[in-house]
A and B are shown apart, each in its own frame.
Chain A
Amino acid sequence: MVAQQVEAVTSPPPQESKRDQARRKRNAKGQTGVAYLFLSPWMIGALLLTVGPMVASLYLSFTNYNLFTAPEWVGLDNYVRLFTEDDRFLSSVSVTLRYVLLSAPLKLAAALAVAMLLNRPRKGQGFYRSAFYAPSLLGASVAIALVWRALFTDSGTVDTLLQKVGINTGGWINQPQYATIVIVILAVWQFGAPMVIFLAGLKQIPQDLYDAAAVDGASKWKTFTSVTLPMLTPVVFFNLVMEIINSFQAFTGAFVVSNGQGGPADSTLFYTLYLYQRGFSDFQMGYASAMAWLLLLVIALVTGLLFWSSGRWVFYSGEDK
């Protein structure tokens, strides 16, 4: 179960007895060689493709580097320029924040609502679950982003339908105030994956809690807010962390809908899209590295805040509280 895994990741390993520890130490020496053999591909990857590049990109973020001439040390210049001289950077930050704050909660709300609807022993439940899940597999593709582009274009399906009911918005992808929404809808459309996780979480809630609520005469809404939701908080927490981390890095939808430009008027200039433009169109590798490290810091900060706040609202039924 997901909740247990969150605990498994966050909580320290169980205490071992003294004898176990002694035996482990003896074993550790004997097994280290063979263990490193099994680990060698991972270790090479961790060193050459993760640790090394992380250090290198931190260094590059303090330089001007264009791939062809040697990096030139400029200190904090890139970071200063980002915040003081670069309007496109600031607008990419605000577009991305708006996207994260809209798409993650809406997607999880849709996931939870449909999970509640599906969570009853009915025929065809498995079929519906799979059908709801399908968009999560397809949604990351260029093909589906192209469909979104066509559905929300001027006199596309959405525009035409809205006109029929007297709302005249024009094509959404051509207008700054709507273009971000198109990508949010694309994200919310893929609520199937968190929904499946919610369903698994709902099945773990002990039936006697519901029975007790029924005996007490609790209404449906009261049962939901007092039993279901608290018992589900570990799953909500897990989904929230994953969604937020992922949505900070959203790229394909914005790239395809705006043809790599981030337009109109930078309204789909997501953070990663701007990073891509700076790094791989303008070859400002130092500048792009500074952006990458800022992204890492923000994601670490937000994840840290979520974990810190989880003590206040996430309820683990295994704990004495």
Chain B
Amino acid sequence: MSTATVTPPKQAATHTKAKSGRWRPAVWHVIVTAIVLLLLYPIIWLVAASFKPADEVVTSLSILPDNPTLENYTAAFDGIAGVSFWSFLGNSLFVAIGSVVGNVVSCVLAAYAFARLRFRMRGLMFAFMIGTIMLPYHVVLIPQYIIFQQMGMVDSFWPLILPKFLATEAFFVFLIIQFMRGLPRELDEAARIDGCGPIRIFFHIILPLVRPALITTAIFTFIWTWNDFFSQLIYLSTPSNYTLPLALRLFIDQTSVSAYGPMFAMSVLTLIPIGLFFLAFQRFLVQGVSTTGLKG
């Protein structure tokens, strides 16, 4: 597999003509746009709600606020539970960037061994690695928690970042292996004839060529870590260590309607990085999904 797998369909003149007779492009655009709008409605609603005063947020049907206000954002930046928004943002960024670095480094190393090197118990280890892709996290969760507790790491970022440096997200190992398999072996052979060992071949030949797969790994790791709730909920307990998803969770406890505006303002702020990533890398994202079957 490679990112070039998704090629545009060959021009199919008869096929296209037969269809356009019944499906006028204009009708098609209207239908597709209608579905897109319906689908994006919750996001539009969210952005609109973040500019509405408290009494309008839930009940008002109109998308445009009657009395638009920036107060929600002022309150959101002030934070919640005595911790400022910037602290939550910093924590989320730290965890996400740490995870990205860990995943990219550890997964590409393991992938190179599986894709290019011969070693004892290779088949067994490969089968095990593939098996762990489908393993539910819960079955290792409790002992992992005990380990990190014994090491005094609970309520720190280590339990969230350290596993990424040990290539525990086997999915990305598999993704990079598949990409490496698409690289011509002649390159390795030529380098070996020139006297390069496996380590130099990795750094000088493979690593530069495998960059697209590493970018895909980095983008998805960032977005998944950014959205991750379960493991952050389990490991972080002091509000000053909270990430953005945990901060948003604090708002639920405040059942009063007055908290809705700031809650949605902070929700918008939380989604902005994903939106930016999406706009910048959408080709990468969509191709990554279609060539590897990644989940979003």
**Interface residue ranges, A against B (CB under 8 Å):** 1-2, 4-5, 8-9, 13, 24, 27-28, 31-32, 34-36, 38-39, 41-46, 48-50, 52-54, 56-57, 60, 67, 114, 117-118, 120-124, 128-144, 146-151, 153, 155-157, 160-161, 189-190, 192-193, 196-197, 199-200, 203, 207, 210-211, 214, 238-239, 242, 245-246, 248-249, 251-252, 255-256, 259, 272, 275-276, 279-280, 285, 288-289, 291-293, 295-296, 299, 303
Asked if B43 is an interface residue, CB under 8 A from chain A, the answer is yes
A residues in contact with B227, CB < 8 Å? 138, 140-142
- The answer to whether B290 and A42 have CB atoms under 8 Å apart is no
Residue from A4, A41, A139 whose CB has the most chain B CB atoms within 10 Å: A41
A14 to chain B, nearest CB (A): 12
Asked if B1 is an interface residue, CB under 8 A from chain A, the answer is yes
- The answer to whether B136 and A248 have CB atoms under 8 Å apart is yes
With A141-B271, A197-B289, A245-B134 in contact, do A41 and B109 touch (Cβ < 8 Å)?
yes
- B224 nearest CB neighbor, chain A only: A140
Asked if B238 is an interface residue, CB under 8 A from chain A, the answer is no
Contact of B285 among A46, A133, A296 (CB under 8 A): A133
Q: Which of B93-101, B125-133, B208-216 contacts A (4 or more CB under 8 A)?
A: B125-133
**Interface residue ranges, B against A (CB under 8 Å):** 1, 5-12, 14-16, 18-19, 23, 25, 28-29, 31-32, 35-36, 39-40, 42-43, 45-46, 49, 57-59, 61, 105-106, 109-110, 112-114, 117-120, 122-123, 125, 128-130, 132, 134-144, 146-147, 149, 163, 165-168, 173, 178, 197-199, 202, 223-224, 226-227, 229-230, 233-234, 245, 248-249, 251-253, 260, 263-264, 266-268, 270-271, 274, 278, 282, 285-286, 289-296
- The answer to whether A299 and B136 have CB atoms under 8 Å apart is yes
- The answer to whether A5 and B139 have CB atoms under 8 Å apart is no
Majority secondary structure, B binding face = helix
- The answer to whether B291 and A132 have CB atoms under 8 Å apart is no
With A32-B119, A150-B49 in contact, do A255 and B42 touch (Cβ < 8 Å)?
no
A100 to chain B, nearest CB (A): 13
Docked CA distance A81–B282 (Å): 49
- The answer to whether A28 and B119 have CB atoms under 8 Å apart is yes
Q: Please list 23 pairs of residues, one from A and one from B, whose beta carbons are closer than 8 Å in the complex, sorted by A's number.
A: A1-B1, A39-B110, A42-B106, A42-B109, A45-B166, A50-B132, A117-B32, A128-B32, A131-B36, A137-B223, A138-B271, A140-B224, A142-B248, A143-B46, A157-B45, A160-B61, A200-B6, A200-B290, A248-B136, A256-B249, A279-B141, A288-B142, A295-B138
With A5-B292, A200-B6 in contact, do A57 and B143 touch (Cβ < 8 Å)?
yes
With A39-B125, A299-B136 in contact, do A292 and B141 touch (Cβ < 8 Å)?
yes
Further contacts, 5 of them, CB under 8 A, given A192-B296, A285-B146, A295-B139: A31-B119, A41-B166, A132-B35, A160-B61, A251-B230
A residues in contact with B129, CB < 8 Å? 42, 46
Docked CA distance A199–B173 (Å): 25
A115 to chain B, nearest CB (A): 11
B residues in contact with A207, CB < 8 Å? 9-10, 12, 15
